[in-house]
Amino acid sequence: MTSQCLELKFVNSTTLEDSKVFITFQIIPGGQPDFDVTYGSGKAVSFKAADCIISESLSLKDIGPAGFEVTRAEGVVIYVSYGAPLTSTTSAPAYIGGGTDYGTLFQPFELTRTGNPGDQGDMTAINYFAAPMKISSYGQDASKPLQSVGYLTGANQIGNEISKLTGANPLSRITNTGGYLVRYIGPSSFNPQDATIPFPTFVPYLQAVYKAGQQTKIANNNAFVYPPAGTNGSTNYNFILDMTATAQADGSIVLDGTISTEITPAGQAPSPGKSFSGCKLTISAADENLYNGVIYGQAFAGNSAVSFSGGWSELKAYITSLGLDPQDAYGTTQRLAVGEITSGLLMGFVNSQVTPKGGTIPIKDMTSRDWWTITPVIAFEDVQPDHPYYNTYAQVIYSASGNEAYSIPYSDRLGDGPLVNSVSFENQDVLSWTVELLPPLATPV
């Protein structure tokens, strides 16, 4: 039987007193009615107004050793701030470019706890890094964790490694008005239309792929149900990528191939559906900032470096005819294609000469789907030992946490990944999480 709530406790292993460490919740817009978190024998975590998405900050001293009781929290970001509470109310605290809470040192982790057995949470440092932590989950036996993730390296060492990547560029190395270092910004956070990303460009990597004449097989899939799950007579529509990625002389990337469908009506065997050939995706290097923004950010909304042509328009019309637009099946399939090739670049799999342990072919000749089943897990400098052909910032986070904190959006595809279950794990109820807070960046510049 699933527990009615999750106990969320904190262990303060920093040098700060409990009165100087604060916890703040960020909910989805309009999510206050579905947010149910209490502390101190039933006190509700509160918001200043009905339109706020950021809760009022609570110190560890005020929260007490029993922590929080989380009855319902969907897509919640939980900020730990060090030395001062957060003051943002209707938007997330600012971590780049200035704004509310910009000068405060804080680090988030994430939690969903709605009662679904698949609910999870994680540590994330995709956008920035300020402090390490550890998360352990427990069932009936409070002495034996069900899962445990955490950093293996201290904050200052991690920060020094990131600083080396940019030559201590102030665009990435953020200090407050008191001269204290408060965070390091990762490459995915920069708006390529506003500023040059202070991290290595991917053009040399793709030009090396072009010179090698290496093509990369992109193969993965995602599925959608219509009518939605839980409705009698639903049909499963599986969209399957079968594409080839080719680098161009200027570093541009072109994916071309087929997207096929597999249809499985409820209670029946799957059968082939329509196929769409000539589906072409281009990531252009004509504007290098926009190009790097797509690869580092793994997103393309509003970015003119990305274009979809050929069979994509027919696929879109077909998806609409199936009634799948409300589930954003077309956009999700686009993101799958972009995410697959950019993950391969960010982690260094594209054109890697390395043959995995127990394997028979080098990674460069594997399909992208097979990258995610490599055991033991290897990525970044392990698969590109001769050149830094990968996201160098993500490599630091990956190594410092053993891939137990998100360093890129698709970190969860590698091995066990960063995810920690919050409702059920291997047929056991998850009753509590303990978050150990480790010393943050705290060195005056």
User: Strand pairing partners for 56?
Assistant: none
φ/ψ of 204, rounded to 5, equals: -60, -40
* Residue 194: predicted pLDDT: 72
Q: Which residues contact 295 (CB under 8 A, 6 or more apart)?
A: 202, 283, 342, 345, 346
What per-residue string of b and e applies to 216-237 under the rule 16 or more CB within 10 Å gives b?
A: bbbbbbeebbbeeeeeeeebbb
* Residue 1: predicted pLDDT: 46
* Residue 94: predicted pLDDT: 97
Mean pLDDT by 10 residues, the chain (445 residues): 84 97 97 95 95 98 98 97 97 96 97 96 98 98 96 96 93 91 96 83 98 98 85 87 98 98 94 97 96 94 95 98 95 97 98 96 98 95 97 98 95 91 97 98 64
In angstroms, the Cα distances linking 405 to 67, 108, 126, 145, 384 are 23, 11, 9, 18, 21
Q: Which residues contact 344 (CB under 8 A, 6 or more apart)?
A: 216, 218, 245, 350, 368, 371
* Residue 445: predicted pLDDT: 44
* Residue 193: predicted pLDDT: 79
Q: In whole angstroms, give the CA distance from residue 107 to residue 124.
A: 8
- pTM beyond 0.85, yes or no: yes
**SS3 state at 398:** helix
Scanning 22-154, the segments in alpha helix (DSSP H) are 60-63
Report the relative pairing of strands 133-138 and 68-82 from DSSP bridges: unpaired
* Residue 82: predicted pLDDT: 97
**Domains (range + CATH), the chain:** 6-194+394-437 (2.60.110.10), 203-386 (no CATH)
Q: In whole angstroms, give the CA distance from residue 155 to residue 170.
A: 18
